[in-house]
Structure 1
């Protein structure tokens, strides 16, 4: 498995060492770590991991606020290792942002499987978001072109096919996109 980097957020250096060794053996190219949530936030400004592993509780917080702060800002998979007494609260507050919660003590096999699942899930979501953004842009472009076309029908007494062809031809002749032509038409009226 060729993997990107991982950020381990944990207040216990001996646990960081074990997790870092385990994840590097699994093919992660870099294993950065932070001892606190605030340090993790700063590190995420300069490091873009593929996976974020949070061993809760942290020095400065439980870890819930950290996940809520970073979930929308990263494409990384997020796994929180939680004590049993915090498990239900973690699940309730973090399931909506897609963080995966594992109870402690951790089984290495389950951690590794969950890591792969978290990374692959976030990649899939990122791909779907990209497709959605692309479709949204195409729909918005189409709306602008349609507005321009109907403006030509109204103001220039063209038929709909004539207006459509006019926009296409002008785009080809001027070597710009139809959306640019449509925007020019809308701004000129």
Structure 2
């Protein structure tokens, strides 16, 4: 069963009702409606929908910054509903990771396909971002440990392997991470390098 929460925003209530009915009858969970573009970001952060459907009958410029923040922070997948093809919006969407668009009138099948694809892509991007963050943390930890090892090698004459074993043993004995031990070594002994 689909447990995707969605939020709709815009002025065209008739079109948004069609969107809401189509998605809810296919297992999506409706969590709210917003007609005010200025409070939309706060609403998205509070409700945390998986999918945001934005009907763009009002000025795109009002929503552009909000969409950028949602994209940068990976708050939710977005589908923009346009009255017609709009080159400004399309150019903007080329630089986003989480937004796609549909032109009105929206058919049920197309909406469901785009919603499913948008969610799939959003989850994949979120997973890649998490992996990238983990890899960056691992790399930073290794850099700090290498620096601490170098301090032990240079100042105390340990071999590289022995320096690593010392950091590892202190980590185990004190039940803290090797990164924290390495930082302590750098703070205590690294300043006089």
Instruction: Output the TM-score relative to the length of structure 1.
Output: 0.90
User: In 2 relative to 1, CA 139–20 (structure 1 residues): closer, same or farther, beyond 3 Å?
Assistant: same
1:184 aligns with 184
Answer whether contact 1:80 1:101 (CA < 8 A) is retained.
yes
1:73-131 per-residue CA deviation (whole Å, 9 max, x = no partner) reads 34311111112252x22110122113102222222211110101101111111111111
Q: Tell me the secondary structure at the aligned position of residue 101 of structure 2.
A: strand
1:2 aligns with 2
Q: CA deviation at 1:59?
A: 6.8
2:94 aligns with 95
1:51 aligns with 51
Provide the rounded CA distance (Å) in 2 between the counterparts of 1:55 and 1:143. Answer: 47
Provide the rounded CA distance (Å) in 2 between the counterparts of 1:43 and 1:150. Answer: 50
Q: CA deviation at 1:37?
A: 1.4
Provide the rounded CA distance (Å) in 2 between the counterparts of 1:174 and 1:124. Answer: 38
1:113 aligns with 113
Instruction: Output the TM-score relative to the length of structure 2.
Output: 0.89
Q: CA deviation at 1:63?
A: 3.9
User: In 2 relative to 1, CA 186–103 (structure 1 residues): closer, same or farther, beyond 3 Å?
Assistant: same
Q: Deviation above 6 Å: which 4+ runs of structure 1?
A: none
Q: CA deviation at 1:13?
A: 2.2
Q: CA deviation at 1:29?
A: 2.1
Q: Does 1:40 find its partner at 2:40?
A: yes
1:158 aligns with 158
Provide the rounded CA distance (Å) in 1 between the counterparts of 2:6 and 2:21. Answer: 11
Listed as ranges, the matches of 1:129-148 within 5 Å are 129-148=129-148
